[in-house]
Structure 1
Amino acid sequence: MQAKDKVYDMMKKMCGENVQISATELSNVLHLSRQVISHYLNRLFEQNLVQKTNSRPVYWSIKNARGIENEEITLDYKNLKTSSEDNITKINYQQETNAFSVLIGCHGSQKNIVEQCKAAVSYPPNGLPILITGESGVGKSFLAKLIYQYALEQKVISPKAPFVVLNCADYANNPELLSATLLGYKKGSFTGANNDKEGLLNQADGGYLFLDEIHRLSYANQEKLFIFMDTGKYRQLGDNEWKKSDVRFIFATTERTEEVLLETFRRRIAVHIHIQSIINRPFVERLQMLHLFYYKEAKKIQKNIVVDKHVVEALCFSKPKGNIGTLQNVIQLSCANAFTKQINQPFLNIMLEEIPNISDIKFNVTSRRLSPLRILYSKELYQVEDEEVLKVKEKFLTFFQKISQIYYENIETAKLELAIAFKKLTNYFKKHSDLLFSEQNLFIRESYLEKCRMITERYGIHCSEEALKLMYCVVLTFQDDMILKFDFYKIINFIKLVSPKANYVAMKLEEKLGAIITGTCKCLEIINTLFFQEYIIETIELQGLIVAHGNATASSIQSVANQNCGTFVFESIDMPMNISLRETVKKVNAYLEKVDTSKGVILLVDMGSLNQMYSSIKNHLSGDLLIMNNVTTAIALDVGMKMLQNTSFKYIAEQAKNIYKIGVQYFEGIAQGNNIIISCMSGLGISDKIKEIITRFINNETMDVITMDYNNLKKLIKEKNKDNFKHTKLIITTSNLPNITNILWVNVYDILDGKGERCLWEALKSEINEQKFEDLKREFIKFFSMEGIASRLTFLNPSIVINEVENVTYRYEQYYDMNLVGYIKLNLYMHIAFMIERLMTSEYHENENKIECTNKEKEFYDVSKDIFEEIEKRYHIKLSQYELSLLYDMFKNIIL
């Protein structure tokens, strides 16, 4: 199949009628460049098979797509292990209209509370008692009334069932009167009891009794009450006969229940509900409260209301002393104050001066960039989601269920599945986004879009306003606390792997939105990453960072460079003059921890003080670093374009020195602190292993171990710049070096002989003690033995044999009270390893003629027999006198 046909076929799979996609999306799916995709799309356009928009970016769609089903696609790929659409359980995201529907947050932060209340009401035979706690004014009484109304709707109580309220605080100083009020009394039972009187337990028969401020109930009255809760019986004051009543209880208190209620009483209350104060509710719910209360006032005065953004901030981001009750009073007074001044105006404009006691409200009017809130009294207040909105949410749930079943071990298939599933979700939203654009949500929309624009400009994302509005709908949907049971982190880890830059921008957007998206879950991170994938190039290998003094210098340069590059190339860190270098370095290190620095980092700075930060960030780098001083927008743009084209790191560094009249420092392992350089002609494999061994024994805070290309090392030596090696303690190579004044160097293969050991010790003696140095030498011996042995052993496992040999040499050292030097140990390691395999495969039989030997030799043979006893048993071998004599030849000059 030709490439053009592949493009067309993929469009038919991803598109239906009125569905558009970009060249970037096709590029990501088909793994072809955008230029190639655009070429074939234009050919298809000339053949009248596709059509395109005049926007930027250009969107393409199938022409005359009728008959193409715009349903879920079943992909036919090898190794694909997702469930088919037929096997996906349909999720019924229904939200019934009931008494709790008027509760702001009933599908969001208050969802669990509502579910608890429903369960308590419906539990047979007579429901469960409920205890509501929370600060004053959070809505405990309001919730109690809703519970009663819900019970009426569910017909668990009769339509005429009573709802009786008692505030226990009214009787706090007279517990006997409270007891009489609850239980009732008989005539003459106490002074003033002139007639029989029924109590509240009788009045609430068949319905609900709501006891507010229950902490004011005396312990004696608590006991009477829990006896009634257990038996359904009570006795009036002055009466010995028991009466019966069927009462459902709701209790409320602002106090800690364990401090004010008897434990026996608490145990009889099955359902405990805590209502958070208003400031702890999600931002969208606080905003809805503002809208509701101002809407009620607008209805009263028959005027539209515009609430200034600073008023919105003051009321949404401060905690009123009386919570919701106080908030409602403040809003009513602000309308009254404004009405008096603007009685002849067509609408009411609420400014900060209209807010009573505004000086007592603590908030920062410059900390958030919000929009005014507009209230239209002529429109119906949005309360319950209609059927279409519920369908949108059901689509979301289906989407997440589908992507949770993707087989993420198959990277390419998983990427394709995610892209198609997300495209279909956004296509669905395009048709239904207007459902969420109500006036009540206008404030959130404007605030969200403003922050989105800031992020897209900063990171060079060229998406349309329509696309941003589409993502706003997603954010608004996720203000509801939809509980989804699937492995979020499996998906998030996957998209971080394949789209790290898109995920980074998604997280930055989440930070920028701040309180506006309070209450959202990890779903939003997934959605935003998938959204940004279309606009961000992930193949850029180098990391770019701009750090500059000033409140917005670095971010301004970043924004221009990224926009001109058309993608996310640079991150920036602004350094206001009142911020210390230490704080800036901390931010730089935090960024480096989040990104892959193995391919190299280009750091653009504006002043000399920042140019000195290498020593503070080196431990957070896993690759090379290029620091360029006196950065300008033009320089950033030029470097960014080279990074976009994946120009080699070293070429960018060389060009920078030649083209820009600025300070350039290229750090390829030349640390600014004490260091050891390792450079092996045979490649970085050996260098990296030697580095790993040394790093295990030294303090990495005070000493750097650096691997370097051999040609670069020779080049630096030829420069004869003393600064290049002024902190270098030792150079380890695989070949001889030109003469270097005052710098120790040693050939890696001589590192274990006398001179080599002394050089290594001289370089490390300030870092490690003698015992650690001996441990380090043993690790070197094992490594070099492994390198030599691995290629020559046929049957044995080199790592296992090396451990065996290490034990042998250690026992010889212990018996003869000696320390074998490195090169002798290395020879022994190799000799003994080959000897074991030779004896395993040889059919050699020892000559019966005994060889005469000295006492010293005989002692050695006897010791060796003992040392090798375990090895002989394990490998089913026997050391001959000949093999022992060879070992003795290696030892005879060094044993005592």
Structure 2
Amino acid sequence: MKRRDKIYESLLGLWTKADAQQVRDLKGSTTLEIAKLTGYSRSNCSSELNHLVTDRKVVKIQTYPVRYIPSSILIKTGEQIPGDFVVQKVSKKEKPNEIGIKHSDDPFSKLIGADQSLRKAIKQAKAAIMYPPHGLDMLLLGPTGSGKTFFANVSYQFAKYAKQIPANAPFIVFNCADYYNNAQLLLSQIFGHVKGSYTGADTSEAGIVEKADGGILLLDEVHRLPPEGQEMLFTFMDTGHFARLGESEKTRTANVLIIAATNENPHSNLLSTFLRRIPTVINIPALSEKGIREKVQIVNYLFRQEAARIQRDLDVNISVIESILFASNYGNIGQLKSQIKLICARAFLNNLNTDGDLLVNTSCLPEEIQAVSASRQTDDQQKQLTSIVPQHTIYSFDSNSRPDVLDDNIYIDIAKKVNELRAQRLPENKIQSIVMQGIRGHIRSFLKDPVESAKLENFISPSTLKLTLRLREIAEELLKEHFDHRFLYYIGMHIDTYLARGYRDEKLLMETEISRIKYEYAKEYAVALAFKNEIAQANNVYLPDIEVVYLTLLLSSLRQMSKEKARSVGILVVAHGNSTATSMVEVTRELLGESNIDALDMPLNCSPTEMAERIARHVESLNEGLGVLLLVDMGSLFHLEEQIEQKTSVPIKILPYVTTITVLDTVRKANYLNMNLSGLYHSIWNDFLETVTTAVRPESSALPKAILSICMTGTGTAERLKTIIVNIINLASSEPIQVKTISALELKSKIPTLSKKYDILATVGTKKPNLPVPHISLETLISGNGETLLRSIIGHQAVTNVQPKGPSTIVPAEICRDVLEKNLIYFNPYLMTRSLISWTEDLARILNLEFSNSTIVKCVVHTSFAFERSLRNETVKYPYTATPEVSRISKAVTRTLQPYEDDLKVKLTEDEIYYISEIVVDDQGQSLIQHA
């Protein structure tokens, strides 16, 4: 008799005479019990029992320790399999779905989150695929790592399953970013080309459109598609006809369902004519937008993947799952996956010489997580987690399961490396250190740095990103220190800008200054020279000496940033909404690294007492002895300062406005300028007030008018800022006004020359020059009244009486769309933004007021949420007695909103109107509420 059969017969013998009550009480036999009965080792029993589970002969029960019972015993005793029985249920009734397809076979039903965060997306995708005769094209929106490509693949599987496409239909995936620097080659890849159509086209080739005929084509990072490519594509989407590149006489046809995907705002990067051809826009939620239950399901799936690779059961303590979910912030599932791989690799290394279940406890956590308390979760989150996760979770390996990358099995490499090192008679602690270093490198290369590239890939080319990752390796090796994500932003964007501008050798520093930098930063200069050689090999580009000096300065700045500080002012971001504050803090951490900062997302119906209690807990946690600065989004929070100080005895300051740019600037000043609480508060506040109170230049000049765009090098940020300024100029004035980019390093040398050549109306950017004209900081332009001020300067009007040609909504419109894209479920975020910005203009005109950018954003976002709540009959109650001013404003709000309510067929309640009115009153600096 085979070992597996003997083990099964032994287990069956233990339970043949059991009745239903015994089954309910004992719930099966443990691996150890079977091992003692059969004489086999515990690990062999565990392996064979899991094979029997796969064969449906045995049911595995998720208890601690894990237990097994024959399926036939459960059937004989008539027992329903309870929820804590796992893997292969004995019987299951299948329910038909809305198009007569069984859920158990529906590819979408197997997705984690199918009945939660992905419910709406799946319904949209099914409707688009089933639409007669051949389905509707789709656009998937979502941040990097949210699973857009995976969702498209499941859509393809569903289309085959529902017989909308043949079983052998092609599924072609094409990443537009791979060729975005070469539009001609990109179009050739999509539509094909004929021989001789461009240099190097030695033969005629079919494009991906032809190859996808009869199936589905996924265009990933579609925002990289140039305008001419979009035009050719929407012609094909309209007619089904296309031509290869260089082919003028012959017309070809293909039947292709197109799924486009992007992590960008489509209205900023895609032609409106192209977007109109895609009737179905599907938002794929980010990991941060998923609930705890769904995140636990994802964690469970990833641990099972690792169990399959190791071929051993994993016994994971709840504290590990708690730390994974709450002690770290993950931008996407790729980051979460890398952390779990690292944890399991350490557990495997710790238990290499043991049999049986692999114990995964807090000692397996990376040091950076062990050092962080998992106290970030709220009491409700803690209760929810403990209600769905047992103290010990057993993740069983299935011999028939297929992990994502079976051929990339890190555990085989670990065992092999340990044996090699032991053969060299190295001490165990040295072996552990060497192997863990290799594990980290392996996982980093496996994931291709998803954290860093996720943000940076939107700004620089893939080739430059690859080069920058290599440069970081060189810097870490030569300087013997670790560089975080900021290395990619500083070095990567600088190199990409340099390569893009045509390799100009512009010297912004004096020779004496260059010599001083080379001497004072000799180590960094040596590394920069190594960069020069690497760039020459990778791009065949000679880097001039001045660029080597710039890289030296950047390296020096990065090294200084890496130095730890003992204490800093705590920063707490408080904003209303499900993830508004969290999103801003996550972006800040990704760009500037870990800081003494935390986020608090406030429900709109949270009472003032509860609000003060929650804020107080966070303030006490953040205080390192220097106090806490609160950045809040509503004036009602501003009035809690005295109450919170009394509760905590911690000195605090509250700033009644917050944006991502404000948070970034606050952290930068707290960390790198070493400001105390009072200095930090006044610095951030004065940045805002300075621009508003600056006198506008009264006299005119015969010289050509200009506005200066300023950043460190005069390229990069300044060039991007120039685009925003040009758009504002085009709306505000018909006069020719030039925008000149200038480096902060050359202000002293070039300002006199520019002042003689141009009538400088204003300066915009990262540094204020010594000029008698208004300066608008980058923060003020984005979050404050900077856009209005700039338009008034251009039109030579007083700030208090601005009547520009168009609405001052270029910047807030972008912010509103970003927020609503992530949060709206039922309404289109683009239409809501456009409609409600028009409404704010109507409201401001009736009230004879001027709204700041922050007020426009608050009104649009809050009102959009109010419409969604009203649609779901989940409106909030206004718990106060409205002041006369709130009542007055509410009448104007009601009157101006009525046409939009009629269009949306949703009526807002009086309570919702009062909340909206508070925002307007708050903006004018008046009393918000009077408690009943």
Do both proteins adopt the same fold according to a TM-score greater than 0.5, normalized to the shorter chain? no
Q: Rg larger in 1 or in 2?
A: 1
> Relative contact order (C-alpha < 8 Å, sep 6+): which is higher?
1
TM-score (norm 1): 0.32
TM-score, reference length from structure 2:
0.31
